[in-house]
Structure 1
Amino acid sequence: MALRLSAETLRQRADVRSAEHQVAAAQARVRQARAARQPGFAIGGSLGLSALTLGAQTHSESVVRTLWAA
């Protein structure tokens, strides 16, 4: 005669909950390891505001030249 237990009854057991947590932690470590194998990508930049004074705003070429120089 087979004993049937519901999934909820099994989840209430401490050893089953512990095993579920261990599986979740292992899955997280696998995701981190896979992410670490991928190349990193970062975008950086800066903007100098000294060229954006009131007098320099009338000369759009100087603003473009300043942005391209960075």
Structure 2
Amino acid sequence: MIGAIVAQLIGLFVDDEFLAAAILAAVAVAGALALSAAAPAWVAGLLLTLALPAALAASVVRSAWRASSGARG
């Protein structure tokens, strides 16, 4: 039962590797900025506010492009 739950959780991220990688990268950069004090805290928040929706939009466009090119083939 626990194995099935873990498999489902991993499946949430494996479905779209690009989106998962983009989210992890944005959070890592924002976290590094916030922890190192290289920039004010609001910059890390702004980065997340802009990067996460941009990653989602890019993922949606990429999926739509794949679906439309697959329908033509």
Same fold (TM over 0.5): no
* TM-score (structure 1 length as normaliser): 0.37
* Bigger relative contact order, structure 1 or 2 (CA pairs below 8 A, ≥6 apart): 2
The structure having more radius of gyration, on CA atoms, is: 1
